[in-house]
Structure 1
Amino acid sequence: MPEDNVGGTDRLVRAVVAVVGTVVAVRALASGRRKTGLVAGLAALGAGFNVTTQFCGLNALLGVDTTEE
């Protein structure tokens, strides 16, 4: 199991991104803008995954750890 590397303010920002991305995706899909909806939905899923698991693969690759903030 990978170690946690997302915490503090980083986690809060990602949670906000997940919520905003979800809203944008739903509104875009409702108005027929499928590409925008797909991109926003994928961003929301990625950010939500990072928030819930407290792990980010890109952070791991770059050696970034925000759990001590």
Structure 2
Amino acid sequence: MGQYTDFIHFMGGDLWGVIDKLDYLEDLGINGIYFCPIFTSASNHKYDTIDHFSVDPHLGGILLSIL
């Protein structure tokens, strides 16, 4: 339970979606965002990290990590 194998079972967006909305969030007066772990993991909560050196593919993967 709590595991997903594809986007159908993944509840949430990706970090690119957050980046796209940064101006909107700033306009709302938001000046900080708390993220749960973003590293590769087999669960939705990501606290059971498999690889501390790679961004989970569901959240943006290697393209995001080069930012």
Greater share of strand = 2
Q: What TM-score do the two structures reach when normalised by structure 1? A: 0.32
Greater share of helix = 1
> Over alpha carbons, which structure has the higher Rg?
1
User: Which structure would you say has the larger RCO, counting Cα contacts within 8 Å and 6 or more residues apart?
Assistant: 1
